[in-house]
Amino acid sequence: MRKETSALLSAELREGGGGRQTVIVRLPPARVTRSSPDSRAQVPMRSQTRQRQRRKLKKVAEQAQRPVESFVNRRDGVEITNQLWLANAVVLRVDTDRVPLDSVAQIQGVRQIHENIEVKIAGRTRDEETRATEDTSPTDHGKHTYGLEQIHVPDVWDEHETKGEGTRIAVLDTGIDNDHQDLELYTNDESDPTYPGGWAEIDSNGNVVGGSEPHDTGEHGTHVSGTVAGGDEGGEHIGVSPETELMHGLVLPGGSGSFAQIIGGMEWAVAEDADVINMSLAVIGYASSFVEPIRNALSAGTLPVSAIANDGEGTSGSPGNLYDGLAVGASNESEDIWNGSSGELIDTDTDWGHNAPADWPDEYIVPDVAAPGQIVLSSIPGDGYQYYTGTSMAAPHVAGVVGLLLAAADEPTPQQLVNALEDTAWKPDWWDEDEAEWARDGKDSRYGTGIVDAKAAADQVTEPVSNELTFDAQEPDEGIVIATDMTTAQESTVVLTYADDGSEYVSGYNPDADNLETESVEVELEDATDFPGEHTAWLFDDDDLPDDLDIGDDLSDYADDALDSETSDVTAGDTAVDVSVDSMAVGEEAEITITAENVDQVIVRKLWTDWDVSDVDEDGASTDPRVGDDGKYEFEWDSKQALVTPTLTVEPPEGIYKSGEYELRVTGVSPADDDETVTVLEITE
């Protein structure tokens, strides 16, 4: 069947002319992480899980892209110039006069075709930046730039005894002067098999350029790299994380590049085990083409840090304005926000439409945090130094701080690092959120959650934590059981189970027990009244549970992997059994409905054996009735597995029973006590 293709083409392509064009063909994204209210990935950074996630992304892309390969191999006028796995996309060069894009859209699996959009640096020229006013003139900070002091970087160096060693940060920018006295990529040695190691030049199609050597096509990339990892050879410390393994991908030659170029650079950085990717670049507006690669980078344990853009409040740029990203605004030496720093309230439905992932909130504010970005001193080519301004200068401060946190902490996830940055960010005492256009829950469109505090964030991620929980006997309150006194450094899940015949059946779970400050976790049972009795609460690292965990699953095979567990009673409230029955007439059917609360079993007694009993609710019922001691039928329901409103239909035969009253007994059996209801069935003529 021929599919409708007009919706698959971007507006620019639908309105464009013919001729040769480079287009990006998007295939279905990989599902690599469990969905969560917070979509930042749960993969620990620098863990073996990252390699598995990369392999999965590559495998999904390889399989999904085969129909495109077959299409191209059978036609002239179209060629594949690159195949990307971080975005599951194929870069095509198409002569649209010979191969219409509508025909490309017919390929199996194609979900979108868009142009190879232009992306630019999120910074200003240095001439503009050095026009200092009386209020914003740079001052002498001796051994450190004001930026390092404002975010308390020297305190981390001293008290946590780290400058980012053992971490790897990739800068995607205009290039780098690797001969600068304050800069060094993680390998300079030409005899090293990995040379140039920390360097890659990416062409407009996203391919790594063979034989390229480190160079800067401007000054921007060298400046940004200096803020991330520069030294103090010039007499002043300029870099936040000077002992990190610095990488640089040239993706913005002369200050601008393409979508494929940026994704190719991200892909290279993820493949080379970068812990952080700094992207001081932006497309103004809402470029949904970045959603998948940003989420996939996170799923592989790499945290993208992006500038929010430089068009002032009421605007933002991609990829910084994605909910999943970490967007950075620019502060100045006075702890105010530079007036060019972007920020806004984003309405997910209006601004992103159907391109927004389902786990994004209805609205959110950007930036997430702020960092020094106005009149920032850093390196430029030729062993020089210069003041630049822009959110381009703010983002590398945060990328460097992430490097410090990684070096100080033990296997954190991207979300834990973001939590630490946002939890400890601060705003000046004189700041009034009413001065911002938008503010929600401590986050506003100027500061975000505030200026980052490297020392406080490092203190948070290195706090001693325990993987323990306490589960006390309690009565469910509207189906909620609470596990208390639990703190964990992992992205964790609390699971409740009930035991039966050696198995542990899942009765409820909460997959979001993943905050360092968690003191209690609520777990909702499938139906609390069905599960009184002994339960076990388990604490698991998310990586040790199946992605498709569900109610009723047997947890026995995973019990040995639990971080902690404790067994206690979930006590029910008072038992209650209610019986309702339609009025009965001899020879006619009547339905009996039983509502039971806080019981393990429901037993119906004294049904006459010559009555026609039908339509028994069989879920959990003994469908073959037994004859009780009184010679009458009995039915039984195990309410741990059945509905709490079992039903059955009865019909007294004609000619035997007369009108009158007949007794029916319904008993609810519970660990606490039994509740028996005697119901009088009235048979009419």
- pLDDT for 403-449, tens place per residue? 999 999 987 888 889 999 999 999 999 999 999 999 999 999 999 99
pLDDT at 76 over 50: yes
Instruction: Give the pLDDT band of residue 127 (cuts 50, 70, 90).
Output: very low
User: For residues 116 and 36, which has the higher predicted lDDT (pLDDT)?
Assistant: 116
For the chain, the straight-line distance linking the first and the last C-alpha, in angstroms and rounded, comes to: 63
In this prediction, residues 93-113 reach a mean pLDDT of 94
Evaluated on CA atoms 259, 395, 451, 421, the torsion sign reads positive
Return the SS3 of 21: strand
Instruction: Give the pLDDT band of residue 528 (cuts 50, 70, 90).
Output: very low
pLDDT at 7 over 50: yes
In this prediction, residues 556-573 reach a mean pLDDT of 77
Cα radius of gyration rounded to whole Å, the chain: 32
190-194, 284-288, 295-299, 379-383: which has the minimum mean pLDDT? 190-194
What pLDDT digit, counting tens, does each position of 657-677 carry? 666 666 677 776 665 555 566
DSSP state of 432: -
Q: How much of the chain is in helix, strand and coil states, percent to nearest 5?
A: 20, 35, 45
In this prediction, residues 459-465 reach a mean pLDDT of 83
Are 236 and 141 within 8 A, CB to CB?
Answer: yes
Helices 291-299 & 259-271 angle (0-180, nearest 10) = 0
Are 26 and 111 within 8 A, CB to CB?
Answer: yes
Q: Residue 426 forms beta bridges with which residues?
A: 451
| pLDDT of amino acid 319 | 97
In this prediction, residues 115-130 reach a mean pLDDT of 70
Single-letter residue type at 580: S
Instruction: Give the pLDDT band of residue 516 (cuts 50, 70, 90).
Output: very low
Closest C-alpha to 318, from 173, 118, 479, 480: 118
Single-letter residue type at 27: L
Cα 624 off chain centre by: 50
| pLDDT of amino acid 627 | 75
pLDDT at 585 over 80: no
In this prediction, residues 594-603 reach a mean pLDDT of 69
Place of tokens 């992205």: 491
How many angstroms separate the CA atoms of 249 and 380, rounded? 17
Instruction: Give the pLDDT band of residue 350 (cuts 50, 70, 90).
Output: very high
Q: Which of 187-196, 313-322, 537-546 has the highest mean pLDDT?
A: 313-322
Supply 168's token pair: 């790897």
How many angstroms separate the CA atoms of 332 and 338, rounded? 6
In this prediction, residues 151-174 reach a mean pLDDT of 97
29-33, 306-310, 365-369, 492-496: which has the minimum mean pLDDT? 29-33
Are 549 and 509 within 8 A, CB to CB?
Answer: yes
Q: CB-based contacts of 629: which residues, under 8 Å, 6+ apart?
A: none
In this prediction, residues 638-656 reach a mean pLDDT of 63
User: For residues 45 and 118, which has the higher predicted lDDT (pLDDT)?
Assistant: 118
Supply 197's token pair: 């190691």
How many angstroms separate the CA atoms of 265 and 251, rounded? 6
pTM for the predicted model, two decimal places: 0.72
How many angstroms separate the CA atoms of 448 and 427, rounded? 9
75-79, 524-528, 648-652: which has the minimum mean pLDDT? 524-528
Q: CB-based contacts of 546: which residues, under 8 Å, 6+ apart?
A: 553, 558
Instruction: Give the pLDDT band of residue 29 (cuts 50, 70, 90).
Output: confident
Average pLDDT of the chain to the nearest whole number: 83
What pLDDT digit, counting tens, does each position of 142-152 carry? 599 999 999 99
Closest C-alpha to 216, from 249, 246, 174: 174
Are 310 and 337 within 8 A, CB to CB?
Answer: no
pLDDT at 33 over 50: no
DSSP state of 139: -
